[in-house]
Structure 1
Amino acid sequence: MTEVARKWWKEGVGYQIYPKSFCDSNGDGIGDLQGIISKLDYLAHLGINIIWLCPVYQSPMDDNGYDVSDYYQIAKEFGSIEDFKILLNEAKKRGIKIVMDLVLNHTSDEHPWFVEARQSVDSPYRDYYIWQKGKTDEWGNETEPTNWASFFTPSCWEKDEQTNEYYMHIFSRKMPDLNWANDKMRESLYEMVKWWLELGIDGFRVDAVAHLDRDFSFTDSHMPSHGKYKEDWSKFSNMPLVHTYLKELNEKVLSHYDIFTVGEVGGGADVNEALKYAAYDSKELDMVFTFDHCWANNGYDSLNETWTNRVNLYDLKQVFKKWQLGLQNRAWNPLYWLNHDHPRVMSQYGEATHYHKESGKMLATSLLMMWGTPFIYNGEEIGMTNADHLTFDDYHDVSTIEKIKKLLGEGHPTELIERYIKVTSRDNARTPMQWDQTENGGFTTGTPWMKVNPNYQTINVASQLEDEDSLFNHYRRLIELRRFSDYKDIIVYGDYQLVGEHHPNVYAYVRTYGDRRLLIVSNFFEKPTTICLPDLTAKQMVISNYKDSSMHLPCLELRAYESIVFELV
């Protein structure tokens, strides 16, 4: 085992807050900063010590704050900069650090830079964004500069009638992409980043960081596909200059502060690509979020009539193995089941009807005992489930709305589209936090901006705080083990070894630090199963999701979703 540098963020536990849905303090139906402040004691009780705060900057809210119109102001829905300073101060009193979401790929089309840029092709801000003239097709009709698709819309180009050119947007039409090739634009962003760090925040989650460079040849994609627009993300993902820009940002700003940074590189990056961003000697970021563990139930195939929501555990184990071993001693690893862009893990990999508590605890143990810094998404600690919206009109997410339009236009059966959206929509993670059994789950005294999941009557914070055996209290115990127990060094810094690799129902791994070892073993399914690990002997049980779990290694019988942590001889 190679000793790595100890850092506060390696030994911490993060908690992601989606501000709009967390807690509403003024009855307008929208979560806000004062609402978050009112729940800091709750978060301290849970045991987390890092808050990742989704964007709270001034924004028209086309994409719930990821469309920034002023980086230096707080959105009026969320409060004021004074509220933010109070949040920062009150969090620090409780030993909690604040990490901001940093949106560098794009702004809102209402940002002053873009408002100026679209006034004239000669505007000094024109080159802050990416513009191209249209092309003429074989029939003489004007068409977009390229056939590239956007993540949210059919084309990643939008015509600006005033200047008769197209601007690029790889997300919403109202989120024009910034041109990182422009030196002045980059310097303006660096000044903004420095301003927030001087205010006292403790780091950034860098949104869409893989997309800061583009294929500036603007040549059409020849990717095979049925539609006119090609979902060829290679045209603007993980391109070489991204690393030049990030090294510059690190050198000029980030390296001068005791902070940490985690970048969103998505599902397209492999281990070697991730190491370019976050290797210990990369001088770019401290960690990267990847998405390839989020869809081991093949949820994106739910448009297919034969699809069933069955976890492919072997594939999931291979993904964990890839990142746990691929980054070990070379970079640091973030751990998470979901974020604001993914379905609820309880609905993906758990069983919320008959084994809510057991499967939720199993998922918590499987994740929090691995190597890396864990991030819990708000509501995960009580086992919140997917939105379960009844009609298309209940969805608010801009990408979901565009997807519904596209699928209806392609003629897919409505019932399959409904299932697909229920499985994949980003709104699944964005329903309001379920605090108690009162109306709207205690989230607001007004009308919530999005419908509260009707199961708030049975899944809520208040009932779990009172239950010593609750999912919430299991998370508390796991966080206590990671942060303060005698096992801290094994869990935080220990090596990882996957065992029982080909077992179809059990995820098992060993953590080793010096001469001490932990075995984590979890049945991912309702059906009881047995796993034999003949070379391992249990010394004692550290934690389990059943009160009467067996110590009978080497052959262990596991009940539905049973999960146990052993210290080994």
Structure 2
Amino acid sequence: MSFHSIEKAWWKEAVVYQIYPASFLDSNGDGLGDIPGIVSKVRYIKSLGVDTIWLSPIFASPQKDMGYDVADYRSIHAPYGTVQDVQDLIDQLHAQKMRILMDLVVNHSSDQHAWFKESRSSKTNPKRDWYIWRDPKYDEQGNRKEPNNWKSIFGGSAWAFDENTSQYYLALFLPSQPDLNWESAEMRKATHDDMRFWLDRGVDGFRIDSMNLMSKHPDLPDGKVINDEPYQSGAEFFASGPKMHDYIREIRTEVLDKYDVMTVGELGFTKDEYSVSQYVAKDRRELNMLFTGDIVDMDFGASGKYERNDFHPRKIRKITDLWQTAMPRFDGWNTVYLDNHDSGRSLSRYASDSPEHRAMAAKMLATYLMTLSGTPFMLAGQEIGMANLGKEYGAESYIDVEGKNYYKGVLKARGGDVSKMSDVLRELQLKARDHGRLPMQWDDSPNADFTTSEKAWMTINKDYTEWNVASQLDDPTSIMTYWKAMIALRKEYPDLFVYGSYVPLPESETGEMILGYERYSQEMRQKSVVLLNFSDQVQKVDVEKYKGFSTLISNQGGDTYKGSHVELRAFGAVVLLRT
């Protein structure tokens, strides 16, 4: 086992709490969460032990993609509040010695942004090259065709035709989300200025959305044809393009290095160790950390998100072992997460939300997140064991554009026969983005006390009457109490759980359903063993070699040792310690 000293930083020791603004708390009764609602819960958030919040997009937006279509980077979506409300939130957090990250969406803007309105006004407009425009192609019959065959991430063509100037513009997501052209130095400068606008107001960093899509292959070649569909993936030409690292380093040197901030990039389509190292290796001076996405893709099929591919603990073992051992090799830093606004809840996908297992399973996942090296990110609601919508919810309950478009596309291909859609509905019930965006469940009053309006902006899970904040606040056995204990433990043992070395335990030692690993702090001479049961059956692990260790924490209660082995109940978690 080799060890090396890791430079310490506040963002490495942070515990981040992600808030989806529309779904956290509605302060004015319009059915939509807002910034004043978040401000009113700052003390609650701090009570969990977290010290940083990450806000999903709050900028002015027509909300075609829930704020990931920005119309003005210096204004706030009016139903959420004002710039002053955000300043109040920043000030309240700083007063509590907490920090705030904002979601920066700069691969694309809304088609309602002033930049795009100018860009599309004429081919000679000074902002024309702020977006990616191309002439049409024509087939042998003279029919107009897109500049290439790229498929949009949300389905259909990645190109939209503009009648006014008779050219296509690139839009990798929705047609209302035109891609910005990072080749334009003037556009980059304007984007840097928008970042400074918020950093000067006290924002402590950014999560950069779709970060590695900002550089495309300059020739925009066709994607490889792998099926008979009209549009194909062009990811090899639009992800991590030739100038991607130049753009990130420019942001770093021109903007970020002037502030003490944290950066985390969303890295789509790129999950190999070498490519990741190019973004986060310390000597590269680019980003602090990345979301590679593989941990929330574990049940995706080979042909896409909504193809069935059941979860098995081997998948999380492989991903965890990879990144926990890889990052130290190139002096990078991990993100540690299981949930976000783009995923179904991990409790329902990788563990169990059944009544008899739900609390144990939620606590087991909390143990996983808080005992790994890296910066942990939790999604609001994880602390109370929020789950996916149940099987009783039909397709009409899902309102997110990604899931809706997919469902409608398959339904059309199957001749409109709803009776043939059970397989798609099953996958929506597991993976739809709606699950990560469900309104927060505060108590058992109408609408979970999320809103006083008769109707919330989206479905509230009817299980809120049992699973809510109020019912867990003063319960010493609750999921929330366990989360608080795990966060406190992480902060008590930073040299072990934040900065310590990671040694995987092979499946041959733990059994296929157990994820096990050792953590070691050379400086403090501390060693820990973490054992996590990802099954609903009792599992036994031989711990003969860990004589002298004692139970530091467990979601099982009581003594976990049974002679020379540890017995893990269904979804049991045990952390052993030798000091």
Normalising by structure 1, we get a TM-score of 0.96
Task: Output the amino acid matched with 1:566.
Answer: L
8 Å CA contact 2:271, 2:294 repeated in 1: no
Report 1:377-526 matches (<5 A).
377-388=379-390, 390-411=393-414, 413-446=420-453, 447-483=455-491, 485=492, 487-502=493-508, 503-514=511-522, 515-526=525-536
Cα deviation 1:170-215 (Å, max 9, x = unaligned): 1111100000000000000011111111111100001100101112
Cα deviation 1:364-388 (Å, max 9, x = unaligned): 1012101111011011111111134
Cα deviation 1:317-375 (Å, max 9, x = unaligned): 01111111111251011100011001101111121112111011001101210111101
Cα deviation 1:48-89 (Å, max 9, x = unaligned): 000011111111111111111010011101000111111011
Q: What is the CA distance between 1:46 and its match in structure 2?
A: 0.4
Residue of 248, 269, 272 corresponding to 1:270: 272
Provide the aligned length of Structure 1 versus Structure 2.
Answer: 564
Q: Which residue of 2 aligns with 1:328?
A: 328
CA distance in 1 between partners of 2:92 and 2:136 (Å): 52
Q: Which residue of 1 aligns with 2:350?
A: 349
Distance 1:540 1:534, change over 3 A: closer
CA distance in 2 between partners of 1:139 and 1:532 (Å): 72
8 Å CA contact 2:25, 2:37 repeated in 1: yes
Report the 3-state secondary structure (helix = DSSP H, G, I; strand = E; otherwise coil) of the residue aligned with 1:328. Answer: helix
Report the 3-state secondary structure (helix = DSSP H, G, I; strand = E; otherwise coil) of the residue aligned with 1:101. Answer: strand
8 Å CA contact 1:500, 1:533 repeated in 2: no
8 Å CA contact 1:69, 1:109 repeated in 2: yes
RMSD: 1.6
Q: Which residue of 2 aligns with 1:318?
A: 318
Task: Output the amino acid matched with 2:275.
Answer: E
Distance 1:219 1:73, change over 3 A: same
Task: Output the amino acid matched with 2:350.
Answer: Y
8 Å CA contact 1:303, 1:416 repeated in 2: no
Task: Output the amino acid matched with 2:517.
Answer: Y
8 Å CA contact 2:300, 2:306 repeated in 1: no
CA distance in 2 between partners of 1:457 and 1:495 (Å): 42
CA distance in 1 between partners of 2:276 and 2:265 (Å): 10
Cα deviation 1:382-417 (Å, max 9, x = unaligned): 111113472333222111221112111222822222
Distance 1:86 1:270, change over 3 A: same
Task: Output the amino acid matched with 2:484.
Answer: R
Report the 3-state secondary structure (helix = DSSP H, G, I; strand = E; otherwise coil) of the residue aligned with 1:358. Answer: helix
| Worse-superposed segment, 216-225 or 12-21 | 216-225
CA distance in 2 between partners of 1:299 and 1:463 (Å): 38
Residue of 235, 238, 247 corresponding to 1:236: 238
Q: What is the CA distance between 1:296 and its match in structure 2?
A: 2.8
Cα deviation 1:494-515 (Å, max 9, x = unaligned): 0001113342110111000012
CA distance in 1 between partners of 2:469 and 2:444 (Å): 9
Residue of 4, 7, 10 corresponding to 1:5: 7
Q: What is the CA distance between 1:93 and its match in structure 2?
A: 1.3
| Worse-superposed segment, 233-242 or 368-377 | 233-242
Task: Output the amino acid matched with 2:577.
Answer: E
Report 1:279-294 matches (<5 A).
279-294=281-296
Q: What is the CA distance between 1:153 and its match in structure 2?
A: 2.5
8 Å CA contact 1:14, 1:49 repeated in 2: yes
Q: What is the CA distance between 1:475 and its match in structure 2?
A: 0.6
Task: Output the amino acid matched with 1:523.
Answer: N
CA distance in 1 between partners of 2:131 and 2:544 (Å): 61
Q: Which residue of 2 aligns with 1:564?
A: 574
8 Å CA contact 2:222, 2:234 repeated in 1: no
Task: Output the amino acid matched with 2:542.
Answer: C
Task: Output the amino acid matched with 2:68.
Answer: Y
8 Å CA contact 1:500, 1:531 repeated in 2: no
Q: What is the CA distance between 1:538 and its match in structure 2?
A: 4.3
8 Å CA contact 1:302, 1:419 repeated in 2: no
8 Å CA contact 2:513, 2:533 repeated in 1: yes
Task: Output the amino acid matched with 2:349.
Answer: Q
Q: What is the CA distance between 1:299 and its match in structure 2?
A: 6.5
CA distance in 2 between partners of 1:562 and 1:400 (Å): 33
Q: What is the CA distance between 1:550 and its match in structure 2?
A: 1.5
Task: Output the amino acid matched with 1:537.
Answer: K
CA distance in 2 between partners of 1:212 and 1:363 (Å): 34
8 Å CA contact 2:223, 2:235 repeated in 1: no
Q: What is the CA distance between 1:123 and its match in structure 2?
A: 0.9
Q: Which residue of 1 aligns with 2:377?
A: 375
Divergent runs of 4+, >3 A: 297-304
Task: Output the amino acid matched with 2:569.
Answer: R
Task: Output the amino acid matched with 1:349.
Answer: Y
8 Å CA contact 1:34, 1:83 repeated in 2: yes
Report the 3-state secondary structure (helix = DSSP H, G, I; strand = E; otherwise coil) of the residue aligned with 1:173. Answer: coil
CA distance in 1 between partners of 2:109 and 2:84 (Å): 23
Task: Output the amino acid matched with 1:321.
Answer: D
Distance 1:299 1:563, change over 3 A: farther
Report the 3-state secondary structure (helix = DSSP H, G, I; strand = E; otherwise coil) of the residue aligned with 2:73. Answer: strand
Q: What is the CA distance between 1:274 and its match in structure 2?
A: 1.0
Identical-residue share of aligned pairs (%):
36
Cα deviation 1:504-551 (Å, max 9, x = unaligned): 110111000012101110111001111224422242211100112423
Q: What is the CA distance between 1:552 and its match in structure 2?
A: 4.0
Show structure 2 runs of 5+ residues with no match. Answer: none
Normalising by structure 2, we get a TM-score of 0.95
Q: Which residue of 1 aligns with 2:203?
A: 201
